[in-house]
Structure 1
């Protein structure tokens, strides 16, 4: 096991004043905080890159699904046009899609109403930390 400080460091620390020691601790904490922030930035950037690639692929999949739905809708119109007028067939397919759209809108709106944009647990934790910093002993 290696020691973090050599004997000369300890001897020098014995000669340092309390103010210098506190200053050194403050500098070390500041440097540590900056390094942690840089590490967090690097991690977030790496994850954002992965998320961007995944979002691009999902976007492509969504576009392909959209094209499939459009072409299947045309196929349904043409199939119905074999047994009725083409205008009525197109109207029937449009009404089906209107109903699907209304259902999706209603379900999505209900789910959106349950979304809480405030990170409540994080806010509570920050409040607790602030309270502790004001009164660390009690």
Structure 2
């Protein structure tokens, strides 16, 4: 078995920082190798070893790809979080302006600010209730769980069909 590394990885260990991934060598078997393992058990063992290595390599590749994508998401989301923070702080001035507008229309200043505060509380309550309803609908990924169980059963009992 050999190792495959990510793009930009060099033999001296410098590269993209990706760890080596096990792989199946793509070389022809020699006559001596074939003659040494003529039994069916030996062939099944070799196939199962190669399938196991292949699955581990695929899982490792998926992990590496997801990790790289997660880093992109995190770095991009920093800008969205900063924008949202500025927006949230600017809402204070909007609500203050609305309260001052109500005060200019003839309401007592305290009543104007109380009305704005009440509207904000009602809005927060409605949004909280809608969020609760959405979160309450979350379920486990049943199809994914079933396919993983089926795959594990098929790999643990090769040759049996369901």
User: For this structure pair, what is the TM-score category when the shorter chain's length is used for normalisation?
Assistant: 0.7 to 0.9
The structure whose residues are more often helix, as a share, is 1
Q: TM-score, normalised to structure 1's length?
A: 0.78
Q: Which residue of 2 aligns with 1:137?
A: 161
Unaligned stretches of 5+ in structure 1? none
Query: What do you get for the CA RMSD once the two structures are aligned?
Result: 2.4
The change in CA–CA distance for 1:129 and 1:22 in structure 2 (over 3 A counts) is closer
Q: TM-score, normalised to structure 2's length?
A: 0.68
Q: Which runs of 4+ in 1 moved over 6 A?
A: none
Q: Write the mapping of 1:119-130 to structure 2, written as runs, cut at 5 A.
A: 119-130=141-152
CA contact (8 A) 1:81 1:89 kept: yes
Aligned partners of 2:146, 2:49: CA distance in 1, in Å? 29
Number of residue pairs matched by the alignment: 132
Q: Which has the higher contact order (CA 8 A, sep 6+)?
A: 2
Unaligned stretches of 5+ in structure 2? 1-25
Aligned partners of 2:31, 2:160: CA distance in 1, in Å? 32
